[in-house]
C-alpha cells in the first residue's frame, strides 16, 4: 500500500459487510415479497438468511471487542466539535447505531419466533408464550424490518453519493487516500486509532 493510502477496512471486515448486506437483502426480500403480493414459500429462505445474519453478527461482535477498537464507533463529545472526525464521522456512527438497533431487535425476536413457526432442527412450540406475547414479539420484529427498509434506502444513497464514494471504494478495496479522508476526518486522529 502506498504512503498516500490508509487501510480503512481489513479483508475480514469487508467480507462481513458484504455478507451482511446479502443476508439483509435476502431477509427483506423474503419477508416483504408476500406483503407486496408475491406469494411463495419464502419462510425457508428467510430463516436460513436469519441464522446466517445471526452468525455474522456474533462474529462481528467478537471481532469488534477483541481485535478492533470499539471506541471508534461510540458517540463522543468530539463528534460535535469543529475538529475533523476520527475513523468514523457522526453520520456514520448514527447509521451504525440505527443498524445495531434494527438488527439486534430482529435477531432476538426472530430467534424466539423460530420456536413458534418451527425449523427442521428445533421442535415447534406455539404454546411456549401466550398469543399476546407472540404478538408483541412479531410487532418488534416487524418494526425492525420497517426500520431496515428506511436504513437501506439512506445507507445506499450515502454510499453512492459522489463525494462519499471513497468510503464505498474503501469497503471494496480496503484502503482510502489521505486526501479523501481529510475531507471530513482528522487524519492524525485516524492514525492514532481514535
Partner 1 sequence: MSLLRYGHDAYGATVLNGVSWDLLPVAFWAGVAVIVVHLIWRALRRGKCA
Interface with partner 1 by CB under 8 A: which residues?
32, 35, 131-132, 135-136, 138-139, 141-143, 146-147, 149-154, 157
CB of 139 to partner 1, least distance (A): 5
DSSP character string of 12-67: HHHHHHHHHHHHHHHHHHHHHTTTTT--S--HHHHHHHHHHHHHHHHHHHHHHHHT
Q: Which is nearer to partner 1, 69 or 165 (CB)?
A: 165
Which positions ≥6 away from 15 have C-beta within 8 Å? none
Closest separation between CB of residue 154 and partner 1, Å?
5
Sign of the Cα torsion 154, 156, 160, 164 reads: positive
Q: Which is nearer to partner 1, 149 or 187 (CB)?
A: 149
Say if CB 194 and CB 88 are below 8 A apart: no
Closest contact distance (angstroms) between CB of 19 and partner 1 is 23
Q: Which is nearer to partner 1, 25 or 76 (CB)?
A: 25
Closest among 132, 143, 75 to 108, alpha carbons compared: 143
∠ Cα 67 163 152 (to 5°)? 65
Complex with partner 1: residue 58 or 100, whichever CB lies closer: 100
Nearest-approach distance from CB 32 to partner 1, in angstroms? 7
Amino acid at each position: 500500500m502506498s504512503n498516500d493510502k490508509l487501510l480503512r477496512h481489513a479483508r475480514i471486515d469487508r467480507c462481513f459487510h458484504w455478507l451482511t448486506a446479502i443476508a439483509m437483502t435476502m431477509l427483506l426480500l423474503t419477508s416483504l415479497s408476500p406483503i407486496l403480493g408475491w406469494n411463495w414459500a419464502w419462510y425457508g429462505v428467510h430463516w436460513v438468511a436469519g441464522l446466517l445474519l445471526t452468525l455474522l453478527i456474533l462474529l462481528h461482535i467478537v471481532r469488534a471487542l477483541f481485535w478492533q477498537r470499539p471506541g471508534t464507533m461510540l458517540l463522543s463529545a468530539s463528534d460535535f466539535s469543529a475538529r475533523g472526525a476520527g475513523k468514523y464521522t457522526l453520520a456514520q456512527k448514527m447509521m451504525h447505531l440505527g443498524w445495531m438497533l434494527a438488527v439486534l431487535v430482529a435477531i432476538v425476536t426472530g430467534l424466539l419466533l423460530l420456536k413458534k413457526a418451527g425449523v427442521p432442527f428445533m421442535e415447534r412450540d406455539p404454546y411456549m408464550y401466550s398469543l399476546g406475547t407472540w404478538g408483541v414479539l412479531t410487532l418488534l420484529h416487524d418494526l425492525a424490518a420497517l426500520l431496515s427498509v428506511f436504513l437501506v434506502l439512506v445507507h445506499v444513497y450515502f454510499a453512492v453519493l459522489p463525494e462519499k464514494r471513497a468510503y464505498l471504494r474503501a469497503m471494496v478495496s480496503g484502503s482510502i487516500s489521505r486526501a479523501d479522508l481529510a475531507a471530513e476526518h482528522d487524519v492524525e486522529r485516524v492514525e492514532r486509532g481514535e
